């Protein structure tokens, strides 16, 4: 099993393709440029099973509907943001040049659970703060967490958008993500990868 990162759109949001040895895959946070995602899938003969969203801000959802229609696959997100998909104020697309709306999710996460889908097992970790329905996906098999906009290299997400909560964001990082094994690879929604150990030692927002 492996991952590949596709930075997409004006915000260079990291979409991730989690790939199994049998060429099935899961798409995480396809924020824009669905044709770029499709080209990668075609080139590598990958068969997507689902789209997972760490949260529903506009820069993480822009390619969802086209990919969902092309591949006839479900999209999943947290129930706390089920009405954000169709609301440009809540998903913050009203702040940019284009209002973005997405059709309702096919399934919602309602609690922390293990998502089993084909060869994939992902722990759903609730990490609100950047947004109220923020989640992170932890794949124990490859010691990797997809942290969305909760945890970045030496930084954390913003909390000044609609529904943001700085104290909740810090709590999510300290009590959830930083409790993962120190050698866990962190794949964030923007920017470079890091590790839990590095952030435990060096993240200035999480030292107190």
Residue 104 DSSP class:
P
Model confidence at 60: pLDDT above 80 = yes
Quickly tell me which residue has 């529904």 as its tokens.
163
pLDDT of residue 61: 98
Mean pLDDT for the stretch of residues 59-77: 98
pLDDT digits (tens, 9 = 90+) for 70-106: 999 999 999 999 999 999 999 999 998 899 999 999 9
pLDDT band at 160 (very low <50, low <70, confident <90, very high): very high
81 phi/psi in degrees, rounded to 5:
-120, 25
CB atoms within 10 A of CB 175: 10
Spatial CA neighbour of 131 closest among 32, 57, 53: 57
Question: What is the Cα–Cα distance from 24 to 98, expressed in whole angstroms?
Answer: 33
Q: Taking all residues of the chain, what is their mean pLDDT, rounded to a whole number?
A: 97
Residue 126 neighbours by CB under 8 Å, 6+ apart:
78, 109, 111, 112, 134, 135, 172, 176
Q: Is the pLDDT of residue 208 over 80?
A: no
Q: Taking 90 as the threshold, does the pLDDT of residue 33 lie above it?
A: yes
pTM above 0.75, yes or no: yes
Average pLDDT over residues 135-159: 98
- What pLDDT does residue 59 have? 97
**pLDDT, tens only, 113-127:** 999 999 999 999 999
In the numeric block, which tokens belong to residue 111?
């609690």
Q: What percent of the chain has pLDDT over 70?
A: 100
Helices (H), the chain: 34-43, 64-71, 166-175, 196-202
């Amino acid at each position: 099993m492996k991952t590949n990162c596709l930075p997409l759109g004006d915000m260079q949001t990291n979409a991730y393709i989690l790939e199994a040895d049998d060429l099935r895959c899961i798409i995480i946070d396809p924020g824009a440029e669905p044709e770029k995602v499709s080209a990668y899938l075609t080139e590598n003969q990958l068969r997507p099973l689902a789209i997972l969203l760490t949260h529903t801000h506009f820069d993480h959802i822009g390619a969802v509907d086209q990919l969902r229609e092309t591949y006839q696959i479900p999209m999943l997100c947290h129930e706390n943001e089920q009405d954000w998909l169709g609301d440009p104020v809540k998903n913050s697309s009203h702040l940019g040049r284009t209002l973005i709306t997405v059709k309702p999710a096919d399934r919602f996460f309602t609690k922390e659970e293990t998502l089993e889908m084909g060869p994939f097992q992902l722990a759903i970790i609730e990490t609100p703060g950047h947004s109220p329905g923020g989640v992170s996906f932890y794949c124990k098999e490859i010691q990797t967490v997809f942290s969305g906009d909760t945890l970045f290299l030496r930084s954390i997400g913003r909390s000044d958008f609609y529904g943001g909560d700085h104290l909740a964001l810090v709590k999510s990082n300290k009590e959830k993500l930083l409790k993962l094994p120190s050698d866990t690879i962190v794949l964030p929604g923007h920017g470079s990868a890091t590790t839990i150990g590095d952030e435990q030692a060096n993240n200035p927002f999480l030292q107190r």
